Chains A and B, each alone.
Chain A
């Protein structure tokens, strides 16, 4: 039985090649082998969504994907959301609306929330709640997370940071903070 295999995939726009055991889960691959610890690892059972990242543009629970299955595919993690060090509108929304307390679910919430905004830039509350129904938060009661996604919908185009609107908002926030 082969012990390890080489996998090559694009992670946050950069091609990486690493040696993995076939049983290595994608969440452990990005955290332990690539050092991208923004993706969190929690329930191990496909329930909580803390490990949510994108494979080929769609959010998945990476505790239930093998790293070898991502070979040749495109992975995007929470580390890729910002643009040139500027938080994107969704990340700003989580700050503005206090969308996190302990922060453990936040990377998953952000990756699912960004996917929603990319497909539906102006989602209503019910749509947001449905979209994040596979991401568990034990702190906020979800209210502020829903508001954070709404904030992003109202303050950015939902897809990119650094545009005029979000830059202006950011400046305003600093003044009022």
Chain B
């Protein structure tokens, strides 16, 4: 029987209370929401918090909404704000995310299984900082950010600076993630491609991309990579190779080649290094092609 080591349990009703308890307990405390990453780690003694602070009752953290540029510490552009307690199941079917960024639903269909998706949250996913975690790759592709709150206020951290290593983030003692932000763009398409051995498994490799088009020219490109040892879960050289050129098969093959060369996967029971390297490139290519198709549809809709 796998059960965690003993710990104290506290339930909080507000963000402020959670922050106060986090400050009080310091490094010995962990927040728990869905618990579907933390509890398995606790069962295996990979995590040994002395106190769990349950934030499931905290209101105001389960929204998906459009926020105007600059509101609440974001950047200068309109963004979608996703509360830290939004469950995977809600992301899968959310109409705002579905309209702007179908990459989220692509990824969510392949994240764990429907039962796990009823519990797991986006805040927990990014804070788990697992190099194979899909939502982090999605947010990385979109150049999103994470809003971190402490008693001193809020700070917004670009996702590409949020993870400091496997299972490590910039979130300090007395801080908690309250929101994830992704920008809103027009004339865009996005997609996520993942190969897993079976339903519910972590990715063998996964790639998410978006393209913003200016006519027939790629104006902006984003790539997120999971489970393949990509630095900050992305590949800037491949992104740069796409910008300014056409969205065609040659461009995608070139970017895929750069990704294959740049990633640093580890051989494990999910496959050898050369296979994962190949897969990272091929999934990038497929995601780019689908992104381009969807960008075309997006442009047609705007023109209509």
Contact = CB atoms under 8 A, between A and B. Distances in A.
Given A23-B5, A133-B200, A69 B56 contact: yes
Interface residues of A, number: 32
Interface residues of B, number: 30
Interface string A40-54: 000011110100100
Contacts of B118: 58-60
Nearest to A54: B118
A46 B3 contact: no
A23 B6 CA distance: 6
Contacts of A3: 6
A22 B2 contact: no
A153 interface: no
A69 B113 contact: no
Interface in A37-75: 44-47, 49, 52, 58-61, 64-66, 68-69, 71
Nearest to A2: B8
Nearest to B54: A69
A130 B5 contact: no
Interface in B1-26: 1-9, 11
A25 B39 CA distance: 10
A46 B32 CA distance: 16
Contacts of B114: 59, 112, 130-131, 133-134
Counting chain A CB atoms within 10 Å of each CB, the highest count among B36, B115, B200 belongs to: B115
A135 B112 CA distance: 11
A28 B4 CA distance: 13
B187 to A, nearest CB: 32
Counting chain A CB atoms within 10 Å of each CB, the highest count among B54, B116, B118 belongs to: B118
- Chain B at the A interface: mostly helix, strand, loop or mixed? loop
Contacts of B50: 1
Contact of A23 (B4, B54, B112): B4
Contacts of A177: none
Contacts of B116: 46, 61, 64, 134
A5 interface: yes
A159 interface: no
Interface in B84-120: 89, 112-116, 118-119
A86 interface: no
Nearest to B3: A23
25 contacts: A1-B7, A1-B8, A2-B8, A5-B9, A21-B6, A22-B7, A22-B52, A24-B3, A25-B3, A28-B1, A28-B3, A45-B43, A47-B200, A49-B113, A60-B118, A64-B116, A65-B35, A66-B9, A66-B32, A66-B52, A69-B32, A112-B115, A134-B112, A134-B113, A135-B115
* Those 9 A-B pairs whose CB atoms lie nearest each other, nearest first: A134-B113, A22-B9, A134-B115, A44-B2, A133-B199, A23-B4, A58-B118, A133-B113, A68-B9
Given A58-B118, A133-B199, 17 more contacts: A1-B7, A22-B8, A22-B9, A22-B52, A23-B4, A28-B1, A44-B2, A59-B115, A60-B119, A61-B115, A61-B116, A68-B9, A112-B115, A134-B112, A134-B114, A134-B199, A135-B115
